[in-house]
Structure 1
């Protein structure tokens, strides 16, 4: 067993333990009368092939439908009896299951949480019932205008990387999946080397670690057989080439009350993490909050959009820098032109010192405010460690942002935001 404590100069000092069986445990004592266990697995839609797209999310549902020790629904009943809460989420590159309890109940509830994660029965009858639930979730996602627009933008941005596919998968694929396929998928993907278990709360670190380690040993009692069908599953490891010209995709959507304009660039992800920080700042300067450049110009001063935002979405292999606006169809061309003018000005002159100072203050405060609860910390630690096997980038984020210069922001805009080559998704109402 290997144990490490991160640099004590960082804001938080979690302890990381790597067990001989491959399981990673991260623990931190926090003086709040709650404990959160968050089990992160490197399993998501980006791992899937087209033929099983949506399997990881469907499996997240089935995890709660009974184990050899717990009947379907019994886990939730036992959790609720203690006043604890539990939930789960699936994304492109991870799935995580979490529970928050009182410190006195933690030792009793941890084995239950781990049992449902690692020993789901995935029985045929329950599988067929839950398939209908997942199909309804897919239908509802298609009825959501923001989700529809986002899916179309991802399809415009990525030609082959699996980020272009929806996490829920298409209904046609979900309709064809079998319970046996899911059992094999679970056996191949839910194993110790894929797991980062994070525990934060008001218990000693040693007790948190021992409780999780013992709970895992107690519940991971069946060695999973890796199916030949899934031995080759792996996340992509190479980014796509940047856009070579302006790629436009236009759609009609009569259910929208306003048109949508999305502009996007392929940018570095976690594989080139140092390149992402300046893009984070640039996104904030352009389109986060009422003092951002595009909000003030396009909404407050010119009244050309009802809403505009800018994000630098960082994923493991490749990210997406995108600007999204709600506006009248007849304003699309004008707004795109003004956005390009703003980007060109930054590339030529960089940004103002007061803008950069404001964003630095926001970044530090946002980091502090978003990590006040045990569940916040387990999300932070679990996300970064499951993706990078390293917590230092997460804990150092405010300091790294503080170190950025005006020149860093200008160079990032010049390097990654080509004004003659980007993606555009337009949805007209």
Structure 2
């Protein structure tokens, strides 16, 4: 089945092909640049892991590059480097993806190698042992990073029950005890065509991109990925929950204030929260930055963010500041939120943000790699790329009333989480 999405208001004209025999999806688009990016997405990450193998998805991402039926250790990277191409991968809570960018004339040669790596990794025992040490060192370095420690504690405060609080890298104890057989089983279960989205964007015709992928695929399995574990969203905070700790490695204290908000399954609400975060604390023209950083010098840094996961999201304000300013800054952040709840935002403010979001959407969609990330992310999570195509347009239709309503509904003034890291 092939679908071409052609929206007059969109800069994007991707074609989606889904194979009925195994549900594998190919998204292709031609754009006039001197490159092609292929991005292979799996709708699995650390959130699907059992507790006793936490960190497996990330560890396996490392091991994928250790060779396959057709490639020896390091051969894939050497071949790409010789052609001036690049490759990388990433693992998150809810997805893992592998990608390369090359010249259009090299695409047909590199494509089968990348597909073979992800579908037929050799997972050699000696490399499993060697790479385990690399992952363990990565975990130790993350423990030595004060900013990472703050983030991890915030995730535990926000998501005590959802798997988002678990470290993507896993823990030293778990990684130390992982067996190769567990990794082989994990790969067999989760690296199935039914959970794959292959995105190709660049200066080759859509038909050629799609046909090359179809002709190269050796994924005959009709086995479905296991169903992802089912979780319910965390309940909203019912009180102000404060956690404090001391970290002597911090040069300044940190203040994090957070609220539990809807996830990807409630996109209309998520988009309004995105805009609210920009108005409140994203950039030098935002309310918190102008007041607390520029005018009153109460903080060194301050920002607001709306982070969206599939099941649930978190809206948070983060400040770097002197310890003596923590209480007053916390109170002033609440005052700013209260002001938006009572009086809303101005049309000028909202229009500025709308323009910025629209411009960023265009600028961040120019490269093939940008578009493969955009399409792959949404399709792997929601089985549609419509939100990616409509995001900018939906932002344009948000009203000041919607922003005010969103602030009232989700940013309670007397029920939220607070994390304080003193130095």
TM-score, normalisation: structure 2: 0.97
Map residues 17-416 of structure 1 onto 2, 5 A cutoff: 17-20=17-20, 21-217=22-218, 220=219, 223=221, 234-416=228-410
Q: Matched residues in 1 for 2:33 and 2:6: separation?
A: 23
Unaligned runs of 5+ in 1: none
Q: CA RMSD in A?
A: 1.3
Runs of 4+ residues deviating >6 angstroms: none
**1:326 aligns to what SS in structure 2?**
strand
Distance 1:111 1:51 in 2: 34
**Superposed displacement of residue 235, structure 1:** 4.0
How far the C-alpha of 1:188 sits from its partner, in A, is 0.1
- Displacement of 1:426 in angstroms is 0.7
Structure 1 358/225 Cα, relative in aligned 2: closer, same or farther at 3 Å? closer
The verdict on how the C-alpha distance between 1:64 and 1:224 changes in structure 2, with shifts beyond 3 A counting, is farther
Q: Are 2:7 and 1:13 aligned? A: no
Equivalent position of 1:4 in the other structure = 3
Q: Between Structure 1 and Structure 2, how many residues are aligned?
A: 421
Contact preservation (8 Å) 1:187, 1:225: no
- Secondary structure (helix, strand or coil) at the match of 2:217 reads helix
Helix, strand or coil at the partner of 1:424: strand
* Alpha-carbon distance in 2 for matches of 1:137, 1:262: 25
Partner secondary structure for residue 305 of structure 1: coil
CA contact (8 A) 1:287 1:294 kept: yes
Deviation digits for residues 171-229 of structure 1 (CA, Å, limit 9, x no counterpart): 11110101100000000000001000000000000000011122223xx36x5989xxx
Q: Deviations over 1:236-265 (max 9, x none)?
A: 442111111111111110000001000000
Distance in 2 of aligned mates of 1:235 and 1:339: 36
Tell me, in whole angstroms, the C-alpha distance in 2 between the residues paired with 1:352 and 1:130: 54
2: CA distance, partners of 1:412 / 1:103? 45
Q: Which runs of 5+ in 2 are unaligned?
A: none
CA shift digits 1:308-361 (9 cap, x unpaired) = 010000110000000000001111111000000000010011111110010000
- Residue 11 (structure 1) shift: 2.1
Q: Provide the C-alpha distance between the structure 1 equivalents of 2:229 and 2:26, rounded to a whole number of angstroms.
A: 23
- Aligned partners of 2:46 and 2:92 also within 8 Å: yes
Contact 1:313–1:320, Cα closer than 8 Å, also in 2: yes
Superposition deviation, residue 8 in structure 1: 2.6
C-alpha displacement of 1:68: 2.1
C-alpha distance after superposition, 1:381-420 (max 9, x if no partner): 0001111111111111111000000100000000000111
The question of whether the paired residues in 2 share the 8 Å contact of 1:188 and 1:224 is answered with no
